[in-house]
Amino acid sequence: MPRIDVLRTLRVCMLLVLCGVPVLACAAREGHAVEAGTCGGYPRLAIETMRGMCAGLVVGPTTVAPSRTLRLPRSLLQLDADTWLVTDLGAWDGTRGMVWRVRTGTDRAVEVQPVLDGLHLPHAIARGPDGRVYIGEMSRIFRFDPDAQTPADTVEDVIGGLPDNRLHDHRHPLSEFVFLPDGDLLVNVGAPSDQCTGADARTASGLCAQSEGAEDAASLRRYPYEGAGLWSSDYTVFARGLRNALALAVHPSGTVLQGENSYDFDSRWSPFEELNIIEAGRHYGWPYCADIAQVTPAWRDRADWCRSDAHTAPALLLPPHAAPLDVLWYEGAMFPALQGRLLMSWHGHRSVGGRIASFAVDARGVPTPDANPRFPVYGQGMRAYGAGPAATPVVLTPNWGLKRGVRPQGSPVGLAVAHDGAIWATDDRAGLVIRFAKDD
């Protein structure tokens, strides 16, 4: 590696550590091996999947071909049968983010082209009601026309002035958004800290200044649709107390679900992550409460509030430190057994993360709790929650853990269901785009 690249890597790693990103992100990564045969015509990755499914490599380095094109791929959007867009953070500092176009041919040959560059932590991507493609950067949401001769010339801000969290410890700088049925935009604003502690943490009334003060952080903002492709800049806070709402989706029934990345407690088994049903005016607990109604160490004076109706408890507990980063409901034809189920990426670097999980749901799209729920742990099999409500998942990738000489532990981020029913996913730490398809 050239000296300039070594220095850049060290600088970025130091920044990541200072900002609360796991040291694992800076460690030397195990390469992905490719097995004999193919998966739907793509090289077959050594990821153990549920029966009848396999993992095909679309883009990314392997032990045989280690060159890496996508640095930190995050979210996916299919444009047509053979074309996808992929957001790429590029790096956790500076404006090195990208949007890539990935084209696949009938012979599974893959072509990767840059579409936009110079972006600041681009994460979310969606097709808007006007047919344009919408991107969430750290401090704005913009749209563009991917079919234009020069897509960069069509970039147009939609929502600006989102907080800049890049210098905070435990920052949550990435923008996620969804379009509500009435056209309004629901936009997450992540918490700028883990537990809202420190000298200036409290307002005069004794609440968290970050979430209850002028910052309106740890919330979901609602930007009203004004028609003609315009959204008002005068937002309302739709819901509070959400530490990091990157896993956000709207069910056809109208239910808004949010997968919560909970606190960075040192305990391996605490706290649980959360799945929340988002409703207007509700407060979901950050930074005062964890789990169903447990008060957090820095806010013990809020114990009664956590047990009151003012705090909206999660609809479902999720495994501790699983780090849900994307959710969607499967409606494809390739896997009938998954029809209607909620899919979720678990990005966490601990032994619970590194999986794509699925849950049976009710008519609202909400997972149904089990009487004796359990969750998977690498090296331990299944572990009882010991708390509820919770549900035992069916895991699409039951063994995506670290295996020396074969693969690193998975770090899935974005999920998408292709027109043909295949499930596409990104792995940002490994730089992969993966197609999970029916095993031949």
Tokens 């407690």, located at residue: 265
- DSSP letter at 205? T
Residues shown for the chain = 440
Compute the distance between CA of residue 295 and CA of residue 307 in angstroms, rounded to an integer: 9
Is the pLDDT assigned to residue 112 strictly greater than 90?
yes
Contact between 161 and 174 under an 8 Å Cβ cutoff? The reply is no
Q: Is the bond preceding residue 324 a cis peptide, omega within 30 degrees? A: no
Residue 285's pLDDT band (cuts 50, 70, 90): very high
What pLDDT is recorded for position 25? Answer: 41
Phi, psi of 18, rounded to the nearest 5 degrees: -60, -30
* Enclosing H/E stretch for 54: strand 53-59
Residue 244 corresponds to which tokens in the numbers above? 């990091």
Helical segments of 172-302, H only? 209-212
Three-class DSSP category at 301: helix
Q: pLDDT above 70 covers what percent of the chain?
A: 92
Q: How many domains does the chain have?
A: 1
For 136-164, how does the pLDDT look when each residue is reduced to its tens digit (9 = 90+)?
A: 998 999 999 999 999 999 999 999 988 87
What region, left, alpha or beta, does residue 139 occupy, with left being phi > 0 and alpha being psi -120 to 50 degrees?
alpha
Q: What are the pLDDT digits (tens) for 342-371?
A: 999 999 999 999 999 999 999 999 999 999
Average pLDDT of every residue of the chain: 91
Tens digits of residue pLDDT in 166-203: 644 556 888 899 999 999 999 999 998 999 998 889 99
Among 343, 350, 330, 358, smallest CA distance to 420 is for: 330
Tens digits of per-residue pLDDT, 223-273? Answer: 999 999 999 999 999 999 999 999 999 999 999 999 999 999 999 999 999
**Phi-psi category of residue 37: left, alpha or beta, with phi > 0 → left and psi -120 to 50 → alpha:** left
Q: pTM higher than 0.85 for the full model?
A: yes
Domain encompassing residue 419: 3-438
pLDDT (mean) for 284-312: 98
**CATH number of the domain residue 145 falls in:** 2.120.10.30
d(CA 277, CA 150) in angstroms, rounded, equals: 40
